[in-house]
Amino acid sequence: MRGFLCSATTCFLAALQVTAGGGPLPENGSLRLSVKTDPLRNRRGHLCVSLFTASEGFPAAGEKAVFSDCFKIEDLNSNNDIAIGNLSTGIYALAMFHDENSDGILNTGILGIPVEGFGFSSNPKIRFSAPKFSECTFQLGDSNGALAIELRYFL
């Protein structure tokens, strides 16, 4: 994922980018995380997801994520469920975007305002910059987990 564009007075979400395949999954993990997202503006393109275990790189650096990949929406069920496996107990934060044109980045318009949908675990309020890792964290305990991510579309 690419980072966030900040000017002297305001910060706007800039192009997030996911490299398919992303970082390695934690080894020896047996837990699974189910991610459901809603609403989608349309069923075109991909849903791109990056899962982090630390604030370093969140949400911008997909290469620092423990999982980073894009999923064709037409291949997902009607609930847009994505399963991430081989996870261990711990604290995580997730960033995702709706890559409507399948170019691998969150496209932006004038002033860096996203023209495609995006969302984060814990569904934090979005103001003029990306949320912090601490605003998006969730605990994966001793059993499989589930998240519901609300995508936001500005334009």
Say yes or no: domain 5-150 is CATH 3.40.50.300: no
Nearest CA to 22 out of 59, 55, 77, 75 is that of: 59
Q: Which two tokens stand for residue 5?
A: 């564009």
Could you give the C-alpha distances from 73 to 18, 40, 57, 105, in angstroms and in order? 15, 10, 26, 15
56 secondary structure, DSSP code: T
Domain boundaries, the chain: 5-150
Q: Which two tokens stand for residue 93?
A: 């934060």
Interior CA angle at 114 toward 111 and 54, to 5°? Answer: 110
- Output the pLDDT for position 25: 47
pLDDT tens sequence for the chain (155 residues): 444 433 322 233 444 555 444 444 455 578 999 999 988 999 999 999 999 999 999 987 878 999 999 999 999 998 899 999 999 999 999 999 999 999 999 999 988 889 999 999 999 998 878 899 999 999 999 889 999 999 999 87
- Output the pLDDT for position 40: 93
CA 102 to chain centre: 15
- Output the pLDDT for position 3: 41
